[in-house]
Amino acid sequence: MNFLIPEPMSIEVIAERLIAKRRWCGEIPVTILGHSYAVARDLALRGFGPEIQLQGLLHDVTEAPLPDMPTPLKPYTFVEIDGRRVSWRAYEDMWGEAMLPPLGAAWPLNHEVKVSDVRALHFEAASFPSLDWWELPEGAVWAVGMTRVFLENVTIEDFINRYEELRE
């Protein structure tokens, strides 16, 4: 794989790679796959349709081919492509634009996907004692219907089945 040239990946390869990576730089037992499933579930519970839920399920697909970059570091991280300095966010966006449409999801992502992503992040921060250093913002709202057990046990089969349901 050439990391400078974004290319589509199959849902099976994406699922295998996302289940192998843990959230919060490995600090908690929640995989990126479990987090992505939770974001799609939160969107469903908030009343959004299958197309937005699909975006939620796939919102972190760029973390399948790329390393997990903690959000606070993204503004300060750059990649050199053909002699140009590109921000990590722009680099991830290049991959997202290449990966999501072939999987049936619109790009760019709907704003509500980020809302559910942050809600899931707040739930994770409030649920794991190892994240006691993280200060939740006042009035933080977390994903409805989530439990630690749920997040820790999402499987590749759960993820792919939900993907196929949302594609129908």
Q: What's the predicted TM-score (pTM) here?
A: 0.94
- Closest by alpha carbon to 14, among 98, 89, 72? 98
Indicate the average pLDDT of the chain: 93
The answer to whether residues 21 and 60 touch, using CB atoms and an 8 Å cutoff, is no
Q: Give the tens place of pLDDT for each residue, 8-25.
A: 999 999 999 999 999 988
Under DSSP, is residue 23 helix (H, G, I), strand (E, B) or coil?
Answer: coil
What is the CB neighbour count within 10 angstroms for residue 121? 21
pLDDT at 134 over 90: no
Which residues have C-beta within 8 Å of that of residue 40, sequence separation ≥ 6? 53, 54, 56, 57, 116, 162, 166
CATH of region 11-167 = 1.10.3210.10
Q: What is the mean pLDDT of residues 26-52?
A: 96
Q: Which residues of 150-163 are buried (b: 16+ CB within 10 A; e: fewer)?
A: bbeebebebbeebb
Q: What is the pLDDT of residue 69?
A: 85
- Residue 27 to residues 31, 71, 74, 104, Cα–Cα distance (Å): 10, 15, 18, 32
Q: What is the DSSP letter of 153?
A: T
- What does the pLDDT read at residue 75? 87
Q: Tens of pLDDT along 52-61?
A: 999 999 999 9
Q: What is the pLDDT of residue 132?
A: 85
Give the domain ranges of the chain.
11-167
- Which tens digits make up the pLDDT trace of 67-107? 888 888 888 999 998 899 999 999 999 999 999 999 999 99
